[in-house]
Structure 1
């Protein structure tokens, strides 16, 4: 499937990476990491890819925050974030607040963290900043071994 995306990604470049990272950061499953590394390998500027992927994934994560801020746990459970997972994440978040947004990059729990932060009405700016830092570190950790 990735082979059929290559021409489209080359045409869309950084914007395509931004969109893929946004989708991956939201509740929809998509692995933006492979697309990120593929575009870097195809010659796009690593710093530009890092910026596009971080921005898209952060905004996708903030869409989960927004969903959490609008809904109640029953409604959110219908979107795929189960009550049990949400309860575990809320327990983890207790006392950490918006800074826990840093961990929104984690597989399986990242979306639940963002949704729970929205439910808890954590500080939106601090949540966005900590989420952005976490997502930046994740993409940077993928990029550095490739560059070396």
Structure 2
């Protein structure tokens, strides 16, 4: 497994997809599932780990680099961050279960860092949300292929 470049590609694509870099890991996961040469559970684990690491990078950006909001390279705009902080103020850390949702997920993870959400809260919620997304995607893919 560790020597298979497909796993590494999926890991890094999933990580990048959760950070400031554009990309989507779902298509890569579906393609690897359709290939059928690797266990679905292993692909889901690899994609989840990569995506959670990307979200952790966002949390660190929010935590330590808030002063750079508005810079071109910062993963979210000031407006997106303000919206995400508003959602946090209203609904709390449980919103991190939706960190997988396109467009709002990255700002949520950055906002978690800026608002000082503890890693002991952040990691389980983000991991659960992202893992469930990949499990559902794998289930639907395998159901269509099966």
What is the aligned counterpart of 2:69 among 51, 68, 76?
A: 76
What is the aligned counterpart of 1:50 among 39, 44, 49?
A: 44
Please state which structure has a larger fraction of its residues in helix: 1
Matches within 5 A, 1:1-148: 11-43=4-36, 44-72=38-66, 74-78=67-71, 79-148=74-143
Given that 2:58 and 2:75 are in contact with CA atoms closer than 8 Å, whether structure 1 keeps it comes out as: no
Whole-angstrom CA distance in 2 between matches of 1:127 and 1:64: 11
Given that 2:15 and 2:52 are in contact with CA atoms closer than 8 Å, whether structure 1 keeps it comes out as: yes
Q: Deviations over 1:39-93 (max 9, x none)?
A: 1111211000000000100110110000000122x51221141121111111111
RMSD: 1.6
- Using the size of structure 1 for normalisation, the TM-score is 0.87
Q: Specify which structure has the bigger relative contact order, considering alpha-carbon pairs within 8 angstroms and separated by 6 or more residues.
A: 2
SS state at 1:37 partner: helix
How many residue pairs align between the two structures?
138
* 4+ residue runs over 4 A deviation: none
Q: Deviations over 1:16-53 (max 9, x none)?
A: 21111011111111111000111111121100000000
Unpaired stretches in structure 1, ≥5 consecutive residues: 1-10
- Using the size of structure 2 for normalisation, the TM-score is 0.88
SS state at 1:144 partner: helix
Unpaired stretches in structure 2, ≥5 consecutive residues: none
